[in-house]
Amino acid sequence: MVQCVTLASGWENSPMRSIQKRLRDLGTVSILLIMAACAVNPATGRRQLMLVSESREIEMGREADGQITESFGLYASEELQAEITRIGEELALRSERPQLPWSFRVLDDPMVNAFALPGGYLFVTRGILAALNSEAELAGVLGHEIGHVTARHSVSQMSGQQLQQIGLEVGSALSSEVASAAGVLSVGLELLNLRYSRGDESESDELGVRYMSRAGYNPNALIGVFQTLALTAGGGGRVPEWQASHPNPENREEKIREIIALSGQDYSASVERSEEYLQKLDGLMFGVDPRQGFFEGQTFHQPDMAFALDFPAGWTVVNQKTQVGAVAPDETAIVLLTLAAEEVDPERALAAFSRQEGINGSDSRLVSLDGKDAWEASFSADTEEGGLRGAVLFVEHNGLIIRLLGYSPASQWRSHQSRVLGSMRSFRNERDPDVLAVEAARIEIERLPSTMTLREFTKAYPSSVSVEQIEVLNRRSLDESIPGGTLLKRITGGRLP
């Protein structure tokens, strides 16, 4: 990567001279353009190579914003959405880039996650909202992500990488249906797995503290955020996505304390708003929304549409708003289930698929899936990256046409074929009454009638999740004495695989 360096005495032996030598074959004009692209970032004070214009940055973010929203969906709470927007805008307006088209939204996703797209498009999940305990903590998360945007970390990440295709490079000659299916799946996976350097993280922490304090929030709340993430990771459960995608040095909490101390400000009178925040969480959906489909092992259940499907053992499964899929461990094969909303008949749907440019369909056959007639065929396609082979199946189910698609590079199709076909042909009616009647779990906020320990609270106010999860959600130990009148979270109802 070309670094922006201020010329000074000793230039003959400076890094800039070696850079000039390496770029000599580009011509003088190119070198001058690169030099001109170096500018001081107003948020960090550092000189940066800015080859991506602000207008292009916004365009990139807007495009990805639509894909993320379509793939994961927004949480249906106008009150929470308004609250996130209010807090986010308060912080963004106090940043060095208030002119960006800032957008703050809540994804209907149970994972503990938050991320920023180029141009000021920020998302938090309902999962991370459930894990926080005050408005100031939420401001800390948003301030940190705003810091990634103002410091242009996202731009360097997205401009330096291509969206992963989970091992399946799909060329322009391939059917738009196949390409879009793989593309949507990979967009979400890539953006939720952006990796920043430790320097970027430290910079965003510092900027987050800056924006929080400017907006009147107590930046010490950010310490609480990292404590919650540490509790979750240390409890034997899955590491939160926000921690997984934001490399976390062992002394992260201590560095936050140092940043706050170096500011030299007294934050004792700053805003926390814990009670107000917790009250807004009352009724928040917790965990996977089973009505939108859920996994038990490798089996996917869809109660609203009343079907089930088994994916190959050991494959990575993904459940998104528009599709359900699984990827082979070596990322060389994929199985996807989507709706063929434009079709009304399985046989005609298969014929239309096979007629697409770039698709060579063969061996069309009628099969039976749990008493339903379904049409299945093999197909092949030539792409710029090589040939693909696969199978597609269409079945009518409760008035809808379901499309099941599986494929891999042609050279590896034989090794995956039986597992792919077995998965596709496992489609069946859902008959389990517990699955068909399942409801989502919810957060309930309870006010303690008197002083008690968290252990006593869990007995007086039972939850449908483990005691350990209640500890993490409230960030309190079981034997801690909690004053009467304190608000605490518990989880009721639901089926949480």
- Average pLDDT along the chain: 82
290-436 CATH, one of 3.40.1000.10, 1.20.120.1200, 3.30.460.80, 3.30.930.10: 3.40.1000.10
Asked if the model's pLDDT at residue 287 lies above 50, the reply is yes
pTM recorded for the entire structure:
0.77
Q: Report the pLDDT value the prediction gives residue 37, as an integer from 0 to 100.
A: 53
Checking if the pLDDT of 54 tops 50, the result is yes
Among the residue ranges 73-82, 162-171, 406-415, the one predicted with the least confidence is 162-171
Count of CB atoms situated within 10 Å of the CB of 336: 23
Which SS3 state, helix, strand or coil, does residue 38 take? strand
pLDDT surpasses 60 at 8: no
pLDDT tier for residue 436 given thresholds of 50, 70 and 90 = very high
Residue 170, pLDDT above cutoff 70:
no
Q: What's the pLDDT tens digit per position in 171-229? A: 223 344 444 444 444 444 454 445 677 788 888 889 999 999 999 999 999 999 888 87
Percentage of the chain lying above the pLDDT 90 cut: 57
Q: Say how far apart CA 7 and CA 13 lie, in whole Å.
A: 11
pLDDT confidence of residue 248 = 56
Write the DSSP symbol of residue 297: T
Which pLDDT score is estimated for 24? 45
Is the Cβ–Cβ distance between 194 and 154 less than 8 Å? yes
Q: Is the pLDDT of residue 450 over 50?
A: yes
pLDDT, residue 281, reads 97
pLDDT of residue 51: 65
- Is pLDDT above 70 for 471? yes
Strand partners, 405: 336, 392
- Residue 357 tokens, joined: 């440019």
Quote the tokens at residue 253.
């909490």
The pLDDT assigned to 233 comes to 61
Q: Where are the domains of the chain?
A: 11-40, 54-284, 290-436, 440-492
